[in-house]
Every structure is written in structure tokens, then in C-alpha cells.
């Protein structure tokens, strides 16, 4: 496929930010993270993203067996948190503290349309 002068590559994800862990006054649950998705402002908007995959991409200190320092932790959007468009996500491995405030990619698949 040849790209023309006025075509842009398509992005298969939307951006999001990790706000923190799901918590109460006294306890926090590191197995559930809160993600603010770009352009989502109500809990009804979150319904579209239920079941979509989420990935946090980061760089490790040493290269892995394939020669790359880039690593990722995958998760899934599980529900809404509150009324302002924040989503709950469960990751395969709990996100470390350095991921709080970091950017994540909310993939637009699997599609339910």
C-alpha cells in the first residue's frame, strides 16, 4: 500500500492515563487499576470500552532474549468507576507504582459491533 500525501496512518488504540488503584479510605486493591480514557466523560461512554484490551508499554533496564528493551503488561477494561468516565481495568500482572500517572493504550479490539 502506498501512502498518499494526504493520508494518515490509522491508529488502532485510544490514549489513556493510569490514575491509580481502586481503593477505599483504608485499603487499596492493586489488582484493579483506574484508567481515564481520552474523550470519555460519562459512565455510559465507558460501556463501549468494556472488554477492550489495555496495554502499558515501558522500557526495561536490560535487553530480553529478542534484543529489545520494550516490555508490556496487558489487561482488560472491566467496568466504569463513578460517573465521570473513569474505567476500571484488570491487568495480567498488577501494575507497579511507577505506572501510576503513565500513559496506556486502550485497543479498539475485540470489537462488539
Tens of pLDDT along 8-65? Answer: 778 899 999 999 999 999 999 999 999 999 999 999 999 999 999 999 999 999 998 8
- Cα–Cα dist 21/32, whole Å: 6
Residues 6+ apart with CB under 8 A from 6: none
Question: Structure pTM?
Answer: 0.87
Please answer whether residues 55 and 108 qualify as being in contact, where contact means their C-beta atoms are separated by less than 8 angstroms: no
33 DSSP 8-state letter: E
Amino acid at each position: 500500500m502506498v501512502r498518499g500525501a494526504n493520508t494518515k496512518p490509522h491508529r488502532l488504540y485510544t490514549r489513556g492515563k493510569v490514575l491509580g488503584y481502586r481503593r477505599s479510605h483504608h485499603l487499596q486493591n492493586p489488582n484493579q487499576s483506574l484508567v481515564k480514557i481520552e474523550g470519555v466523560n460519562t459512565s455510559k461512554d465507558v460501556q463501549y470500552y468494556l472488554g477492550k484490551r489495555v496495554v502499558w508499554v515501558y522500557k526495561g533496564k536490560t535487553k530480553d532474549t529478542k534484543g529489545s528493551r520494550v516490555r508490556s503488561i496487558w489487561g482488560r477494561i472491566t467496568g466504569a468507576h463513578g460517573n465521570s468516565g473513569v474505567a476500571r481495568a484488570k491487568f495480567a500482572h498488577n501494575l507497579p507504582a511507577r505506572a501510576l500517572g503513565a500513559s496506556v493504550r486502550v485497543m479498539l479490539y475485540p470489537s462488539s459491533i
